[in-house]
Chains A and B, each alone.
Chain A
Amino acid sequence: GENVEQHPSTLSVQEGDSAVIKCTYSDSASNYFPWYKQELGKRPQLIIDIRSNVGEKKDQRIAVTLNKTAKHFSLHITETQPEDSAVYFCAGGNQFYFGTGTSLTVIP
């Protein structure tokens, strides 16, 4: 199946700073790249996604960039806030395979 690698596994930033999380995938046929946010004990929820015909997508403080040649896509969160603290997962391979997650802590 698809091999999705996610880095870093943990990330701590000061409030107001930016956070970047990166995922690489192996299946060149993948064409949909979502990012999910999961708070402790809660369900994962989609925060942003991108399709293979687009290189970048932005939604307020959140953006995703896709490099199909290098097979990686990244989540960018700007002006981080304490409520951004959560675990973030990317997914690939038609969403069957999640990355290993990044635990983001925003320090007030």
Chain B
Amino acid sequence: AAGVIQSPRHLIKEKRETATLKCYPIPRHDTVYWYQQGPGQDPQFLISFYEKMQSDKGSIPDRFSAQQFSDYHSELNMSSLELGDSALYFCASSLVRGTGELFFGEGSRLTVL
């Protein structure tokens, strides 16, 4: 069965650089979520999209932006990277917004040097 696909799986950047993460949700899932998980931390909700429109915003820094495209894939853009941005970034999709199982991708590990 198709799963949530994230790319790249690993990314190393220098401080002040820019990074873009991509997410391809499971077909027919209408909601995409982005989470940031630091070492030993719980996943922190960043932002979500419902039917290609931004629907909810969490603790996403102003340096980050995200969008969902017509083919339903989503991208998380991170600029002016800081050491503290080093984390595992998960994308998840769900069939039913808010009240259905979240299917997570394998995550993109960002390391900022």
Contacts and interface: CB of A to CB of B under 8 A. Distances in A.
Nearest to A2: B45
Contacts of B14: none
Contacts of B97: 94
B107 A43 contact: yes
A43 B90 contact: yes
A96 B42 contact: no
Nearest to A49: B101
Chain B interface bracket (under 10, 10 to 19, 20 to 34, 35 or more): 20 to 34
A44 B48 contact: no
Given A32-B98, A43-B104, A44-B102, A100 B56 contact: no
B68 to A, nearest CB: 17
Contacts of B8: none
A95 B44 CA distance: 11
Interface residues of A, number: 22
Contacts of A45: 104
A46 B102 contact: yes
A57 interface: no
A98 B37 CA distance: 11
B85 interface: no
Interface of B: 33, 35, 41-45, 48, 56, 58, 90, 94, 97-102, 104-107
Given A34-B101, A42-B106, A95-B98, 20 more contacts: A31-B99, A43-B105, A44-B90, A44-B102, A46-B102, A49-B101, A51-B99, A94-B56, A96-B33, A96-B45, A96-B48, A96-B56, A96-B58, A97-B45, A97-B58, A98-B43, A98-B44, A98-B45, A100-B42, A101-B41
18 contacts: A31-B99, A32-B98, A34-B101, A43-B107, A44-B102, A44-B104, A46-B102, A51-B99, A95-B33, A95-B98, A95-B102, A96-B33, A98-B42, A98-B43, A98-B44, A98-B45, A100-B42, A101-B42
